[in-house]
Copies of this chain bind each other. A is one copy, B any other.
Amino acid sequence: MDAIFKVLANPVRIRILTWLKDPDTNFPPMIHLPEEEKGKGYVCVGVIQEKAGVTQSTVSHYLNLMKQAELLSCKRIGQWTYYRRNEETLQKTSEYIASYL
Q: Which residues of A contact B (CB under 8 A)?
A: 1-2, 5-6, 8-11, 14, 17-18, 21, 90-91, 93-95, 97-98, 100-101
Contacts and interface: CB of A to CB of B under 8 A. Distances in A.
22 contacts: A1-B14, A2-B9, A2-B11, A2-B14, A5-B5, A5-B8, A5-B14, A6-B9, A8-B8, A8-B101, A9-B9, A14-B101, A18-B100, A18-B101, A21-B101, A91-B98, A93-B97, A94-B95, A94-B97, A94-B98, A94-B101, A97-B97
A79 to B, nearest CB: 30
A97 B90 contact: yes
Dominant secondary structure of chain A at its interface with chain B: helix
Contacts of A97: 90, 93-94, 97
